[in-house]
Amino acid sequence: MKKIKIGQIGIGHNHGAAKAADCKRLPELFEFVGVVAPEADAKYFGRKTAEVYKDIPFMTEDELFAIPDLDAVLIETSVPHLVPTAQRAIDRGLHIHLDKPAGENIEEFEKLLMDAKAKHLAVQMGYMYRYNPGVLYALEQIEAGRLGEIHTIDAHMSTEHKTDFRKFLSQFKGGTMYIFGCHLIDLIVKIKGKPNKVVPFITHSGQDGLDFPDNCCAALVYDDGTCFVRTSSVEVNGWGRRQFVVCGTKGTIEIKPIESPMHVTEAYLTEGKSWSDTHTEVFPPAQEHRYSNMLIDFAKMIRGEGENPYTYEHDLYVHKATLAACGFDIEL
């Protein structure tokens, strides 16, 4: 089957170079035809840091769009430019992989999604935990009914960031909740559906003399329980405490850490007494490359071999809930 001609716009997103690397690991699916490095991206990361691009032609956006039979684009600009750049690709009839978060203007993101839907174009959001083996294992158990009715989810995505990166985060109203919380809200909505309300707790540690939301929490409130999302850029060993814990009437699955390394345990109602630790470790398949399965799925969407398991409507709602968790006045 014909290879998918794909390009990349932007090298300014934290995940951009790794996505390009994983794309290049799939030469049977993709022909990587060019990369666009806007000036704003080059200032932040610099081309010298992007070794993965050394054998890919650099070009302007117009030159990329002019390549005959171009099929798709990875949108990996610095965060403020993601949605406007993606809209230009959609306007040209191109499938897109769009990194996140999807902007602080919900109307712009909604237009992008509805335009893509009308043109039957794939929009794959860059929520890599959708393809995390531990998360996929949990989703399988939930769909099989092994956990019973899910009433609580406790999710953390924190890191101890250096001052320069924390300065970068300070440009966003929601700070760490905006950048990291979206990953977790995505999975909670996938499992629990739309919450009755989202309650933000936007707090500032003041560390390094920076005044921005760097130590945040949000509650997604449902009839049968409350799901919590916690994000921080000032947590020592925050990576080690990144977790996704799903609690149901019949069992609990804990993924902690979520990756590097991934560690998954499960416990079921019939396996022990309530005053003892009854969990057992499980071993989902290892994830060699973080984005490969995501990109394989993207190729299937483009070729019409499979549908996006996350609908346009899901992606829109997740971003509304994310902005609400960041303190924006958003109607859910």
- Bond preceding residue 195 cis, omega within 30 of 0: no
Whether the predicted pLDDT of 80 surpasses 60: yes
Q: Is residue 37 part of a domain?
A: yes
Residue 211's domain spans which residues? 133-286
User: Which whole number is the average pLDDT over 110-121?
Assistant: 98
Whether the predicted pLDDT of 49 surpasses 60: no
Tokens matching residue 5: 């001609």
Neighbours of 193 (CB within 10 A): 10
User: What pLDDT, on a 0 to 100 scale, did the predictor assign at position 226?
Assistant: 98
Tokens matching residue 86: 């993606």
- Tell me, yes or no, whether 117 and 196 share the same domain: no
Mean pLDDT of the chain: 94
pLDDT digits (tens, 9 = 90+) for 263-310: 999 999 986 677 788 889 999 988 888 999 999 999 999 999 999 999
pLDDT digits (tens, 9 = 90+) for 59-78: 999 999 999 999 999 999 98
User: What pLDDT, on a 0 to 100 scale, did the predictor assign at position 50?
Assistant: 64
User: Which whole number is the average pLDDT over 319-331?
Assistant: 97
Question: Which candidate, 73, 76, 83, 89, places its Cα nearest to that of 34?
Answer: 73
- Tell me, yes or no, whether 167 and 109 share the same domain: no
Q: Give the CA dihedral 83, 86, 91, 94, nearest 10 degrees.
A: -160
Instruction: For residue 250, give the amino acid letter.
Output: K
How far is the C-alpha of 235 from the C-alpha of 43, rounded, in Å? 28
Pairing of strands 72-75, 95-98: parallel
- Tell me, yes or no, whether 198 and 278 share the same domain: yes
- Tell me, yes or no, whether 278 and 159 share the same domain: yes
Q: Is residue 317 part of a domain?
A: no
Question: Which candidate, 122, 68, 176, places its Cα nearest to that of 308?
Answer: 122
- Tell me, yes or no, whether 102 and 186 share the same domain: no
Q: Are 314 and 189 in contact (CB under 8 A)?
A: yes
Mention every residue, 6+ apart, whose C-beta is less than 8 A from residue 223.
196
User: What pLDDT, on a 0 to 100 scale, did the predictor assign at position 324?
Assistant: 98
Specify the higher pLDDT residue, 279 or 328.
Answer: 328
Q: How far is CA 42 from CA 32, 49, 77, 153, 256, in A?
A: 20, 10, 10, 39, 35
Question: Which candidate, 127, 129, 126, 134, places its Cα nearest to that of 286?
Answer: 134
- Tell me, yes or no, whether 260 and 166 share the same domain: yes
Q: Is residue 103 part of a domain?
A: yes
User: What pLDDT, on a 0 to 100 scale, did the predictor assign at position 289?
Assistant: 86
User: What pLDDT, on a 0 to 100 scale, did the predictor assign at position 323?
Assistant: 98
Whether the predicted pLDDT of 48 surpasses 50: no
- Residue with the two structure tokens 């960041």: 326
- Tell me, yes or no, whether 147 and 277 share the same domain: yes
Q: Is residue 322 part of a domain?
A: no
Instruction: For residue 23, give the amino acid letter.
Output: C
- Tell me, yes or no, whether 246 and 144 share the same domain: yes
Whether the predicted pLDDT of 45 surpasses 70: no
Domains contained in the chain, number: 2
Whether the predicted pLDDT of 10 surpasses 60: yes
How far is the C-alpha of 309 from the C-alpha of 136, rounded, in Å? 12
Q: Is residue 164 part of a domain?
A: yes
- Tell me, yes or no, whether 277 and 139 share the same domain: yes
- Tell me, yes or no, whether 72 and 105 share the same domain: yes
How far is the C-alpha of 98 from the C-alpha of 39, rounded, in Å? 19
User: What pLDDT, on a 0 to 100 scale, did the predictor assign at position 40?
Assistant: 58
pTM value > 0.85: yes
Tokens matching residue 188: 């909670």
User: What pLDDT, on a 0 to 100 scale, did the predictor assign at position 1?
Assistant: 77
User: Which whole number is the average pLDDT over 169-181?
Assistant: 96
Specify the higher pLDDT residue, 41 or 246.
Answer: 246
Q: Are 116 and 90 in contact (CB under 8 A)?
A: yes
Whether the predicted pLDDT of 217 surpasses 70: yes
Whether the predicted pLDDT of 168 surpasses 70: yes
User: What pLDDT, on a 0 to 100 scale, did the predictor assign at position 37?
Assistant: 85
User: Which whole number is the average pLDDT over 112-116?
Assistant: 98
Burial label for 3, CB within 10 Å (0-12, 13-18, 19+), is: middle
Q: What is the SS3 assignment for 281?
A: strand
Confidence band for 94, pLDDT divided at 50, 70 and 90: very high
Q: Which long-range contacts (CB under 8 A, 24 or more apart) does 39-46 make?
A: 40/12, 40/77, 40/78, 40/81, 41/10, 41/11, 41/12, 41/77, 41/78, 42/11, 42/12, 44/12, 44/78, 44/168, 45/11, 45/12
User: What pLDDT, on a 0 to 100 scale, did the predictor assign at position 85?
Assistant: 97
Q: Are 76 and 8 in contact (CB under 8 A)?
A: yes
- Tell me, yes or no, whether 119 and 37 share the same domain: yes
User: What pLDDT, on a 0 to 100 scale, did the predictor assign at position 52?
Assistant: 86
Specify the higher pLDDT residue, 98 or 290.
Answer: 98
**Across the strands, what pairs with 60?**
none
